[in-house]
Structure formats: C-alpha cells, structure tokens
Structure 1
Amino acid sequence: MSGFDETFDWVVVGSGAGSMSSALVMRQAGKSVLILEKSRWVGGTTAKSGGVIWVPNNRFLKEAGDEDSAQAGIDYLDAICADIPGSSHEKRLTYVNEGSKMIDFLVGQGVELERGSASGFWPDYYDEAPGGCKTSRTVVAKPFDKKELGPWAKKLRKGFLEVPARLEEGMKLAYVRRDPALKKVKRSLILRTIGTRLTGKHYVTAGAALQGRMLQASLKAGVDIRTESPVSELIVENGKVTGVATVKDGKPWRVGGKLGVLVNAGGFAQNQAMRDKYMPGTRAEWSQTNESDTGDLHVEMERIGGVLAQMDQMVGYQSTLAPGWERAYVTPPAQSLTGKPHAILVDQTGVRFMNEGGSYELYCETMLKRNQAVPAVPSWAILDQQYAEYYQVAGKWIDKKTPKGWLESGYLHKADTIEALAASIKVEPATLAATVARWNGFVAQGKDEDFHRGERAYDEWLGDPYHGPVRALGDIAKGPFYAVPVVPGDVSTYGGVVTDAQGRVVKADGAPIEGLYATGVSSASVMGGVYPGAGASIGPSLTFGYIAAKHAAGLGNEF
C-alpha cells in the first residue's frame, strides 16, 4: 500500500453499533482501529433508536429459564425469510450461531447488557411460526450515565429517552390511566431524574445507552474515533480495497487499512432522490433516522463492483404527523396507536385492510401496497372516546381538552357520530359506518375474522394488558369519535450491498471484493424483507461487524 497519509489495521466507516463491535474484536486481537464518522456525533441512528438487539438463544433468555435453542432460531428465520440476494439459509444460520457469541463477547468487554423485558414478554413479530418465541429474545443496554464519557459525552448522539429508566419502564407509563400504581412510578422517575442531574449525572437509556456503553468500551480499548470525517472514496489497488479517502482538519486525507475496510455508514433514508428511485411514495421527512443517513457509501460500494439488493425495502415505522412534528427530534410514532383496543385503521375509502397489530415493517409495507390500488397514504386511525380516555394520541391526551391547533390544522377530526366523522375526513359515511359495525361484531365474538388481530402473542403485547378478554380488541362505540392520519414512516432503509456469511461485500459473480466488508443497513439485510422481532436490524449490525472483524483478523472461533 502506498500514498497513504496514515495506516491502521482496520478502518471503519460510520459509528453505529456494528462499527464498535468490530473495533472491540480487532483491539482484543491487538490490531489498530480507526472509526471515521461523517457527522458531529457518534452513535449513528442506533443512538436515536430503542437500542433493542434481537438474538435467539442468548444468555439472558437462558438465565431466565426460558427455553430456546439455535435450532429454534434458524427454524423461525427459515420459516419467515425468503432466499433472496441478501438473505440465505447459510447467512441466517451464521447469524443465529454467532449472535449469541457476540452478546457474550460484548459482556466480556464490559458492555452492561440485560434482557429487553424484565417481565419476559416481548414476543417475536411472527411468534406463531415454527421456532417463534412468545416470551422474549430481546437484549438491551442498562441505563448509562453519559457523564462517564468525560469530554466524549458531548459527542454522543442524543437519545430519545434521556432519563434514568429502563426502556420497558418507560413503555409501561402509557397505561398510567389504567393503573393508579403507575402514577407513583411516574413520580419516582421524575424524582430520580432530578436527583441524578443534581448529583452531576446524566442518564440515558435505549439506543443512547447502548451506544454510550459501546463508545466507552471502544475508547477504553484504544480505538481511534474521529467525527466530522466523511469518507468520499474507497481506494482500490489491484482489485483490493486498501483504504479510504477522507478529511482531517478540513484537508483531504488518505488512510490505509491493512486488514480491510468495514462500511457501516447507515442507509439512505434521508436521500429523497434515492427514495424516489428505489421506494417511490415514501418520504425522507417521515424517517426517524439521523441527518447523515444519505446513502453515500451505497453509491460508492456499487461503483467499485458491489451489488445493491433489497433497495425497495425499509424498516417501516408508522407515524402520525401531529402539529409541530417537523420540529420534533423523533417523529411521533404510531406503532401501537391502532393496535390498542377501540381503534382501527382504514384507507381513504373508509375500508379496513390489515391487522393493525404485528410488525411495524409489515404494517407500512401493507399500507404502501394498498396505496397502489386504493388511496391509503395517509390512512386514517379511527378511535372513540373510550380510547381517548385510556390512551394518548401522539403523546397528548385528547379526551378533555383538544391540543392547540390540532382541530384547526385538520390533523385531528372529531364528531359525535361515525357518519359525521366520515364526512369530515371525506369518506363515504355508509362505508365507514359499515366498517366500524363489522369491527364491533368481531369484538363482540372475540375474533377478528378478517385479519386475525389479537391471535398473535405480539398483537397482545401491542394491546392493553388491563383490557380483556382479548387485549387487542375493543369496540368503537362511545362518542365522540376521532380520526388522525397515519403515514408509512421508517426507522431505516433495509437494502444495501450483498454480503456473504463472513460479511464480505460480493460482486455480481458472487466473488468477494477483497478487503471490503459491510454490516448494518449499509448491507442488504440478512432478514430479507422481513422484520422478525424488535432489534432485527441492530442485532445483525452488531453480529456481522463482529464476524467481519474475526474474519479479517483471521481469528476463526477464538472469540
């Protein structure tokens, strides 16, 4: 290698979860590592996210006494995932076998993790499939005091839940009107937050906790991490990727990578031109991803022979665009809005067209497919007063006082009858009335004959634990009635370069591009176009970062 201003053993583009798992492997092997982050902040979209990791047969599941196995994990993935360019049985099997080892490795590196659900209930999204898990395969980081990072605390990307609480605890507060005991939990959380701030601590949870802990471990291990260092070119010499072109102190800078380059630079969710090309009808502003998620390295890897696949896929995450959403750090999510009792989703003709529970990826995919035949973007969430009394809409209570501007802007529609509500949202009154009547009939008999909502354990998880007999089913019968729009947002795109089971980027003929690896949503997902459970993008990012580093360093099964 020649002409480089600087050389490391391992060069990583992007600072998401998989970047740091790979860096920790390399440092454990005694290799030098450089992570180059395009933005001002470390952590990628992972830091903004829930930070959940989906891994079958993991140590925390076993410690809880739940039954699981690698065989059950691969049976499940093979049952729900298609064999397409980014996903094969071999890759899925590698993920299942190596994912649990990756979790053990991170714990051994001092990254404090725990089961994602203390109650043991956060089911797979297709739990009825062979090998599906009705308890929980999720893993999360323990809450983290980011002040432990010292000067790096200011460089950690902001999370959405910066309080001393576990993610599951925060989600329980959605039922504060259903369980008076939760008011004490809420007060305790407020006092905890005040107390920790007064003592100079600043706790974060969810994705920021995961990335804070990964950053802390990486810095302790001696990883060189640089922000505001975009990569503009992958340098190829004699068919091998030997380094990258970046910037240092505002000047062009070439860095060599003796063992290779790992690309974990995110997806292209913030690039509207690429969205229009690959997934028309979706919008960048509806995405929860960070501002630097613009697909630069997708284009660059394709330029040097990488093959892009699954580019029409995204990790859909339904959102409701309440007034002020443009200024919000996180677009108001609607994951459980229509999955709770007393609510359904209809298209712009007033017809219900899906199970409103289940996978958010499938929810948005179904909405987009429906929109090809019938206007369905946005669709309408139809709610009644029972819903309004029990649950919030876009983080606000609407039963006693309408939030300022919601009615005036046309975001919230409210009427005394279903027919009047239909007229307000420009839907044929008889059609919407028939849809609601049919739904109420299903609720009365305890079975959704059209779309089987409530039959999966995950549907029940999205429903209301205080409601019965079916947590996900409740009639729409008490006025006034409400409607709010729902759009197919996302937490990331899901397509990228095709990689093999070692994380190597491959060419059209299947041969690897020597020296080039990819993980996370820079690669075509190992899950194909399916989202198996909470954390099914962070889990593979961490795992294939871990696998790629082991392969590049020639470590075999040492880690």
Structure 2
Amino acid sequence: MPQGDRSFDVETDLLVVGAGAAGMTAALVSALEGLDVILCEKSDMVGGTTATSAGTVWIPGNRQGQRAGTPDTVEAARTYLAAMLGAHATDERLDMFLKAGPIVLDYLEQKTSVQFVAPPVHPDYKNLPGAAIGGRALGALPFDGRRLGRDFARVRPPRREFMVLGGLMVGKADIPPLLAPFRNWTHFKHVVSLLTRHALDRLSYKRGTRLIMGNALVARLFDSVRRTGVDLRFGTALREIICEGDDIVGAVLSSPTGEMAIRARKGVVLATGGIGWSRELRERLFPEAAQRFSLVSSSNTGDGILAAERANAVIERDLESPALWMPSSVMAQADGHVSVFPHIMLDRAKPGLLAVNKSGRRFVNEADSYHDFVAAMLRSNASAASTTPAFMICDRAFIRDFGLGLVHPGTRNLSGFLGAGYLMEGDTVAALARKIGVDPDQLAQTVERYNGFAETGIDEDFGRGASELNRFNGDPKAKPNPCLRRIGPGPYYAVAVWPSDLASSAGLRTDSCGRVLSRDGKRLSGLYAVGTDASSIFRGTYPGPGTMIGPALVFGWCAAMDAAGTLRRFIDPPPR
C-alpha cells in the first residue's frame, strides 16, 4: 500500500517474513553475506509445514549423491522435466534452479549446520525418461535437539500421529525394529538405543531430542540462524507491504508490543507458507472437494500472497494443479484432537489393498505418488461417481502385516477405531459395501478382478507395481508383484480418505531470483517471494520427493544473494 512519507519504527537491510525452510534460508544466507536481517515469524515456533514433513529436498546433480555412490546429472533432470513439463521446461526459473541447486547445497554445507545425505534409493514420482532412482532426493542428517538448549522448544514438533511414547520421532528405518525388536540382534540394539535415549530425554524435555526428517532440517537451519545473530522476532505477523512510488520499501507488522513499521533498505522477502488455511484463497483457487482439509501449519493463512496482491502482484494460476495433494484419513480422538493422517507410503503401495470411489470401482494406481492418487480422486469426482471420500479396502491380514492409516501394524484390538467410525468393518465384501454406501455387487466384482491381477502379477487396469516408485514402497516378499496380493478371507475393512493439500503450487509470479512480478510483468522492486508464496516452478506437477523444499532452499538463497548483490560471484552469467 502507498505510504508517502510515513515514519518507520525500525530499519534493517532485509526483512524476511516467515521462519519456515525458505524464510530461514533467506535470512541465514543474507546474514552470511553481510546484511542486517530481521526475520519475523507469526507463530511462536520455527519450521512451518517443513517441520512436519519428511524434510526431503529434490536437487539434481548434487555432490552428496556422488559421495553416496548414486550420482545424478543436471542433464538427466532436464530430460525428465522436459518430458513432464513440455514447453514450460524452458522457464528461466527452472534453469536457475538446476544451475544454482548444487551450489546452494555446497554453500550451506560449508558455511552452516545444514547437512544432507543421499539415501541409496529414493525414486522420482513419474516413470519418464531421465527419472532417477536415487541421488536426486536428499535427506537432512539427524540433529540433536539438545544443541539448541531452551530454544529446542521453538522447533515446531512433528504431527503427533508420527510420534510414539510421548514424543519419540519414528522414521521409516525405525519401524521394522520397533515392530519386531527380538527378531535379531540388530533390531534389539536399535530399539534399546532409541528407548534409552528417549527415556533420558523425557527427564528434561517435553519430547524426544533425536530429530529426523523435516524436524532435523528445520533445527539445522534454526541452529545456523541463531549462530549468525539474525534478529528473529516471534509472534510478529505481516499486515501490509509499504510502497514508495513503484518501490517496496518495507512492511507493517503486528507484534506482541503493538503494530510497527519496518523499513527494509534491500527488500522484503515473503515466505509465509503460501495459500495455507486462507479461506479466501482456498475458495478462489482450490476445487471444492479439496477445500476442507489441509496438512499445512495452522498459522499459514495466506498473509504474504494477499498482501502482495494488494501491492499489485499477481497470482499465477495457469498450472496443472493449484496445490500438491495428499490422501488423508480423519479421526476425532478422545481428547478432542482431530487427527488428519497423511497416507504417504506405508499402506497404499502394499499388496492386498485397493481404493474405490462411490461406485465401488477402482480409479487409480494406489501405489503411485500421494499427489497423483488425489489428482485421480479429483478427476473421478468431477467426471464420474463421487470420489470424495474414496475408500481404501483390505482384509484383516493386511492390517496385521502393514497397518492401515492410524491403525499400526499388528494391532489386535480394533474396537476404538471402529467405535470412532474411522474403520468400517464387514464380515463379507457385500456387508462392507453396505457400510460404506457402495453397490455390493460392483464392489465384489472389483475385488474379484483385483484378485485376478494378484494371481498373474499384472494390474491390467492401472499398472500397479510397474514403476520403480511402486516397487520401492511395496513388499518384496510378495511375488510376482510386490504391490499385489489377494484380498483373502474376511472380515474386511475400509477407511475413508479425503483430498488434503500439503503445499500450494499456485502463488505469486516471480522471476529467476525470486523477485515478485506485477500484473503487467514488471518487477516490483524490493519485493521477493520464496517457498510456497511463489508459484511452483514445476507448475503444479510433482516430479519427486522434496520438490517443494528443494526450490524453497534454492530461491531463498537466490533472493538473499540478489539482495546482497553477491549472486554474480556464484552464478555466471547473472540472470536477466
């Protein structure tokens, strides 16, 4: 908003709004490059949605993958993205991402606590030329939360559904030992180590300090931000962007001590978490079926996007999807907490489960990425039988072996889940069909057809088990297809899954440095947008694990370098 000759309460070089992965990267890098920085966070914790995520970053051609023996090349990634994006693969932002990504990782590794490692297998999400099986998606190294001292309480905890024993974080590698601690000596040692550490943690902390996945990434960024002396202010929310003529010169924020105006000599960086829970933006940009549930932080309410719109910025909407989706099941807990459980990969790809719409028919390869699963839900919902919610169906043996959503593997007493209406049960397929409101004959035909595919190992309808991603998340003991086995004797179970967003793709139109563009395509001097406040460089597609956090780090770095005037040292030639 135009402010004329208004006075400012505070001045700094760079004002960063939002302390998620993108915002903390921008603040950290600009401080390392010699700028005075104020980092404002609306809530009382850092991390945003990244803190509750897997924390994976997708950055092709990195040296971390080479060190791990899973080398990748930028050229292969260009081939992959060209197959996915077509003409849009020539976007200058995409070129900057591919060029700067490995540089950013090396910069952070050399100068900060942020360290990544490449798992041997972490496949891309599409079976296209140039796809990688490993080396392109990286995970943050675990972090000891005790290093943060009292500030450990400032790290947003994971979703409580992904912690056990009062706050112990559990990763994919921890699950087999925890389920079978006495199977072998390795399992036993791992479990004893986890439980001993956690017991000691709980003497001094509200939750475990062994941080992994997104919590580890956030803690590493936070640790580095603290060490650089960034002025980090909690409980401070964006209200308006301040303009002088055509230039963005600062912002008005609300703080615990009242409203204040901050002048930012080098610019304002918006990193407030995208569309989030903003009712206005959700109703404007999301399909109706996907507006109800979200996995983003509750403090994300579209502040950056809406404020920038009022300053003549534009939301880019010509995308394949306005958000990245996740199928989620919902259960009201006894204490009033509503669990929205993301079905990432622990059940959907496992053999012996199928998903149906309200007609009782399959509509998707259940083992494909979570985004593709919901995209198929939304297509089916719009063109055929209702698929909101969809139902994931299995037999009792499946729950014993793999679990189902909130129901952990091996759970014997299902009464709490049945009583809450989370699970639906039928002694026969027809009885289950009546419980979930689908045609019994059609569901029986669907199960019979699926069982036929399980016998041959070939899913003739959706190709389940044919891709690296499918097989990686399946069960290698299932033959001949790790994603298929017969649905056997009853009782049978179903859980309803709903579309939810884990991040927005629609956002502010930006250039290759994260600078925000106006409605007429000109740069809004002094205004940057990074993370999900900026529109997705992948245009609403989902190439692989970490393709939101990877660009968040890269463009947070680019914005900081541009504001500091040091980008040319790293990227040659500099962007237009």
TM-score (norm 2): 0.90
Give the aligned partner of residue 121 of structure 2: 121
Q: Distance in 1 between matches of 2:554 and 2:402?
A: 37
Aligned residue in 2 for 1:6? 10
CA distance in 2, matches of 1:178, 1:57: 41
**Which residue of the other structure, out of 358, 368, 374, is the alignment partner of 1:364?**
374
Matched, 1:287 2:294: yes
- Say whether 1:385 aligns with 2:396: yes
Aligned in 2, Cα 1:281/1:402: closer, same or farther, shift over 3 Å? farther
In the alignment, does 2:74 pair up with 1:70? yes
Q: CA deviation at 1:399?
A: 6.6
Residue 573 of structure 2 is matched in structure 1 by none
CA separation of 1:254 and 1:220: change in aligned 2, threshold 3 A: same
Question: In the TM superposition, what whole-angstrom CA distance separates every residue of 1:160-187 from its partner, at most 9, and x where no partner exists?
Answer: 4677878442355687599767852444
Deviations 1:428-448 (A, max 9, x none): 111111111111111211111
Contact 2:313 2:516 in 1 (8 A): yes
Is 1:135 paired with 2:134? yes
**1:511-543 residue CA offsets vs partner (Å, 9 max, x unmatched):** 211111111111111111111111111111111
Deviation at 1:294, TM superposition (A): 0.8
Q: Is the 8 A contact 1:494 1:529 kept in 2?
A: yes
Instruction: Indicate conservation of the 8 Å contact 1:82/1:528, yes or no.
Output: no
CA displacement at 1:493 relative to structure 2? 2.0
- Pick from 352, 363, 381 the counterpart of residue 353 of structure 1: 363
In 2: Cα distance, 1:224 partner to 1:452 partner: 52
SS of residue in 2 equivalent to 1:107: helix
Question: Which 10-residue stretch deviates more, 181-190 or 370-379?
Answer: 181-190
| Identical residues among aligned pairs (%) | 32
- The residue that corresponds to 1:27 in the other structure is 31
Pairing 1:531–2:542 present: yes
2:199 pairs, out of 174, 177, 194, with 194
The correspondence of residues 199-218 of structure 1 with structure 2, limited to 5 A, is 202-218=209-225
1:467 has 2:474 as partner: no
* Partner of residue 319, structure 1: 328
Alignment match, 1:55:
59
Cα offset for 1:22? 1.6
> Contact 1:309–1:498 (CA<8 Å) still a contact in 2?
yes
| Structure-2 residue corresponding to 1:111 | 113
Quick check: 400-409 or 544-553, which moved more? 400-409
Contact persistence 2:57–2:545 (CA under 8 A): yes
8 Å contact 2:65–2:118 — kept in the other structure?
A: no
Q: Secondary structure at the match of 1:529?
A: coil
The within-5 A match list for 1:449-464 is 449-464=460-475
What is the rounded CA distance, in whole Å, between the counterparts of 2:463 and 2:336 in structure 1? 37
Instruction: Write out per-residue CA displacement over residues 419-475 of structure 1, whole angstroms, 9 at most, x where no aligned residue.
Output: 222122221111111111111111211111111111111111221233333211122
> Within 2, Cα distance between the matches of 1:260 and 1:176?
54
Q: Which moved more, 1:190-199 or 1:460-469?
A: 190-199
1:243 CA displacement: 0.5
Moved more, 58-67 or 219-228: 58-67
The answer on whether the counterparts of 1:341 and 1:472 sit within 8 Å (CA) in structure 2 is yes
Q: Indicate yes or no: 2:348 matched with 1:344.
A: no
Unaligned runs of 5+ in 2: 571-576
How many angstroms does 1:35 deviate by?
Answer: 0.6
* Cα shift at 1:64: 1.6
2:231 counterpart of 1:220: no
Residue of structure 1 in register with 2:574 after alignment: none
Check whether the contact 2:332–2:338 (CA below 8 A) recurs between aligned residues. Answer: no
Alpha-carbon separation, structure 1, partners of 2:201 and 2:182: 28
CA distance in 1, matches of 2:499, 2:554: 28
Work out whether residues 138 and 534 of structure 1, in 8 Å CA contact, stay in contact via their aligned partners in 2: yes
Separation in structure 1 between the aligned mates of residue 362 and residue 149 of structure 2, nearest angstrom: 52
Distance in structure 2 (CA, Å) of the matches to 1:154 and 1:15: 15
SS in 2 for 1:489: strand
Give the number of equivalent residue pairs.
554
Distance 1:327 1:281, change over 3 A: farther
The Cα offsets for residues 80-117 of structure 1, whole Å up to 9 and x where unpaired, read as: 13556xx7532212111111111111111232423252
Q: 2:182, 2:129 → 1: CA distance?
A: 34
State how far apart, in whole Å, the 2-side matches of 1:59 and 1:325 are. 48
Cα distance change, pair 429–480 in 1 and its aligned pair in 2 (3 A): same
Q: Give the letter for the 2:224 counterpart.
A: A
Q: CA deviation at 1:341?
A: 0.4
Identify if the C-alpha distance between structure 1 residues 282 and 145 changes in structure 2 by more than 3 Å, giving closer, same or farther: farther
- 1:542 matched to which residue of 2? 553
**8 Å contact from structure 1 (residues 124, 136) kept in 2:** no
Contact 2:332 2:339 in 1 (8 A): no
CA distance in 2, matches of 1:287, 1:177: 35
Query: Amino acid of the residue matched to residue 232 of structure 1?
Result: R
Could you give the per-residue CA deviations for residues 184-221 of structure 1, whole angstroms, max 9, x where no partner exists?
A: 24444222322455587822222121111101101111
Q: SS of the residue aligned with 2:196? A: helix
Q: Which moved more, 1:33-42 or 1:199-208?
A: 199-208
Question: How far, CA to CA, are the matches of 1:178 and 1:440 in structure 2?
Answer: 34
SS of residue matched to 2:415 = coil
Helix, strand or coil at the partner of 2:376: helix
CA RMSD of aligned residues (A): 2.5
TM-score of the aligned structures, taking structure 1 as reference length: 0.93
Closer/same/farther in 2, CA of residues 283 and 76 from structure 1, 3 Å limit = closer
Going from structure 1 to structure 2, the CA distance change for 1:174 and 1:500 (only over 3 Å counts) comes to farther
Counterparts of 2:181 and 2:495 in 1: how far apart (Å)? 21
Shift in Å, 1:326: 9.0
AA matched with 2:21: A
Q: Tell me, yes or no, if the aligned pair for 1:178 and 1:466 is still in contact at 8 Å.
A: no
User: How far apart, CA to CA, are the structure 2 residues paired with 1:9 and 1:396?
Assistant: 50
**Is structure 2 residue 237 aligned with structure 1 residue 230?**
yes
Distance 1:90 1:83 in 2: 12
* Shift in alpha-carbon separation, 1:182–1:278, aligned structure 2, 3 A: farther
Contact 1:54 1:534 in 2 (8 A): yes
Counterpart in the other structure of 1:151: 150
Q: For residues 325 and 123 of structure 1, do their structure 2 counterparts lie closer, same or farther at Cα, with a shift above 3 Å needed?
A: farther
TM-aligned CA distance change 1:404 to 1:273, over 3 Å = farther
Q: Secondary structure at the match of 2:403?
A: coil
* Aligned-partner Cα distance in 1 for 2:32–2:306: 32
Q: Tell me, in whole angstroms, the C-alpha distance in 2 between the residues paired with 1:225 and 1:506.
A: 27
Give unpaired runs (5+ residues) of structure 1: none
| Distance of aligned partners of 1:269 and 1:141 in 2 relative to their CA distance in 1, 3 Å threshold | same
Deviation by residue 1:248-277 (Cα, 9 ceiling, x = unmatched): 442221111111111010022322343222
> Following superposition of structure 1 onto structure 2, how do residues 385-464 of structure 1 map, counting pairs within 5 Å?
385-397=396-408, 401-464=412-475
Distance in 2, Cα, partners of 1:325 & 1:446:
42
Alignment CA distance shift 1:321-1:186 (3 Å): farther
1:487 is paired with a residue of what secondary structure? Answer: strand
Aligned partner of 1:123: which letter?
P
Q: Which residue of 2 aligns with 1:332?
A: 341
Q: 1:266 to 1:351 in 2, by over 3 A?
A: same
Q: Report the Cα distance in structure 1 between the residues aligned to 2:115 and 2:169, rounded to whole angstroms.
A: 14
